[in-house]
Amino acid sequence: MCLISVGIDLAGSERRNTGFCVMDSDLNCKVSILHTDEEIVENTLSYQPDVVSIDAPLFLPKGRKNLESVGPPHLRVCDKELLRMGIRFFPITLGPMRMLASRGISLRKRFIVSGLTVIESYPGAVQDILGMPRKQRGKNLLRNALLNYGLKGDVSRDCIDGDELDAITSALVGKLYLENNYIAIGDPDEGYMILPKVTNYFRYKVTGGGRA
């Protein structure tokens, strides 16, 4: 049975590029750049994926009614766990992250209504855990790391975009989720972030910037 994972490297604005990846059980990838919410929803539904993995905050911190409120809480339980793991990120309430979170939460609701399973992923954290360089260190370095992992298809394109590489990483998390080869960090009342299950992660020296 061929399972399908869709990975979305969501941009905070429809004016910016959103990376989109469809991955099958054999690690074949098909990528594209999308912009509007309608494009994202239409393309996702056309594949009827078994899981949709979105690189964006999909839940508010417990006790926070909305993104516009001033003051705490600023961090979710999964965010605090990332800090404990040494993985840096931008808090959900920081500047442009509010737009990204608002868009991610809205898209998640639309996919849920359509009967799809949706998970939150964070490519930067995934790449750190798997020992891959983030795209900020060079797109070719990340592309080669994904190829060495066994990914196939569009990932081999020389002109592949950094947003597409992160979408591939998000789709990979979706595949691991379908295979029950993942860990879920967070609070069930808030929502979980899905990461690869790598038992020796803490042997790695983790570096990197925020969600991008």
Q: What is the pLDDT of residue 26?
A: 96
**Domain CATH for 73:** 3.30.420.10
Q: What is the pLDDT of residue 71?
A: 66
**Could you list the residue range(s) of the whole structural domain that residue 153 is in?**
5-203
pLDDT string in tens for the chain (212-residue length): 789 999 999 999 999 999 999 999 999 999 999 999 999 999 999 999 999 999 999 998 887 777 777 767 788 999 899 988 889 887 777 777 889 999 999 999 999 999 999 999 999 999 999 999 999 999 999 999 999 999 999 999 989 999 999 999 999 999 999 999 999 999 998 999 999 987 554 434 333 344 54
Residue 133 maps to a domain? yes
Q: What is the pLDDT of residue 68?
A: 75
Q: What is the pLDDT of residue 199?
A: 54
Q: What is the pLDDT of residue 65?
A: 77
Residue 212 maps to a domain? no
**Token pair listed for 174:** 């979706």
**Token pair listed for 15:** 């004016």
> What is the count of structural domains for the chain?
1
Residue 209 maps to a domain? no
> What is the rounded distance in angstroms from the CA atom of residue 76 to the CA atom of residue 84?
13
> What is the rounded distance in angstroms from the CA atom of residue 201 to the CA atom of residue 35?
34
By three-state DSSP, how is residue 25 classified? coil
By three-state DSSP, how is residue 128 classified? helix
By three-state DSSP, how is residue 191 classified? strand
Angstrom distances, CA of residue 141 to CA of 7, 32, 94, 133, 179: 20, 20, 29, 7, 27
Residue 198 maps to a domain? yes
CA 2 to chain centre: 21
Residue 78 maps to a domain? yes
Residue 129 maps to a domain? yes
Residue 14 maps to a domain? yes
Q: What is the pLDDT of residue 41?
A: 98
Q: What is the pLDDT of residue 116?
A: 98
Residue 196 maps to a domain? yes
